[in-house]
Amino acid sequence: MWIEELRAILRGAAGSFLFGIPLLYTVEVWAIGSSTSAIRLLAVQAATFVAVLLLTQIEGFRRSLSIHPLETVLESIEALGIGVICAAIALVLLRRITLETPLSEALGKLIFEGVPFSLGVTLARSTLDRRSSRQRRTSILEGDPTPLSAAATGIRDTLVDIDATIIGAVVIAFSIAPTEEIAIVAAGLPPLWLLIVMAASLLISYIIVFASGFTDRRERAQRGLLLSPLTETLLAYVVVLIASALMLIFFQQLTGNDPWQEWLENIIVLGLPASVGGAAGRILV
């Protein structure tokens, strides 16, 4: 029972990061959150709760929900809490909130950034549940008149996962890559903090693909050439970092004249949203 509850929470957190990450890299939201009055912050939080409540009545982040008014309200409160916690983790991870940040400024950033994170919790199941995709994939394979060997099937599935990782990374990170927020965030991260960002990128990717219950771990262990969650997560992260570098080069955010430290910092910072997108892409194929 508690395992299924944990998976439900992780499903909500996965959707939270998927929807909330793009707005996280927006300097205007940081500024608005820092300068908004307490009354307006309260109004924003109330409006967010109403939106979450309405979405919960339609979908919800659990696999089953009997639409009872009390259960809907309780799940909406839980979804709002998950969204706020995920937003807080992301803001601390990118050092938009530190121990030196005034309480009012931290609260403002948290409430505004918490809006898409909270909405993402309620939309997680409808957005990321790959059962219908798996059924389409199975029907296509069953109709394939050309049988493939186990090795060929493994290579094909591995390439499909790599393609899905690239597509998902580009979908989420492409609109972030040309912005100045990448350089701003990267400049504010101490060297050792980059390791924390990398670890968080790997952990979030792992949670989305393997721990949230959106996919069957045993099924994934039988497909492709990467027979363990660890090797798949690590390879996907390498692919994501390459895609992040190419996007930054494409938008001329990195050039041959920039020092290698700047290359490393910017690629790792953009690699966080790209990892989220890449993980979402892999569970949808």
Buried b (16+ CB within 10 A) or exposed e, 230-239: eebbebbbeb
DSSP states of the chain:
-HHHHHHHHHHHHHHHHHHHHHHHT-HHHHHHHHH--HHHHHHHHHHHHHHHHHHHHH--SSS-----HHHHHHHHHHHHHHHHHHHHHHHHHTTSS-TTS-HHHHHHHHHHHHHHHHHHHHHHHHHH--HHHHHHHHHHHHT-SS---HHHHHHHHHHHHHHHHHHHHHHHHTTTTTSTHHHHHHHTS-HHHHHHHHHHHHHHHHIIIIISSSS-HHHHHTSSS--SHHHHHHHHHHHHHHHHHHHHHHTTSS-TTS-HHHHHHHHHHHHHHHHHHHHHHHHT-
Position with higher pLDDT, 202 vs 73: 202
pLDDT at position 58 is 76
Write the CA distances from 209 to 130, 136, 220, 272, integer angstroms.
11, 19, 10, 15
The yes-or-no verdict on residue 252 having pLDDT over 90 is yes
What the block records as the tokens of 203 is 């952990």
pLDDT at position 96 is 92
Q: Would you place residue 140 in the very low, low, confident or very high pLDDT band (cuts 50, 70, 90)?
A: very low
Q: What is the pLDDT of residues 9-40, one digit of tens each?
A: 888 898 899 899 988 898 888 888 888 888 99
Q: Would you place residue 71 in the very low, low, confident or very high pLDDT band (cuts 50, 70, 90)?
A: confident
Under the phi-then-psi rule, with left for phi > 0, alpha for psi from -120 to 50, and beta for the rest, what region is 282? alpha
Position with higher pLDDT, 124 vs 198: 198
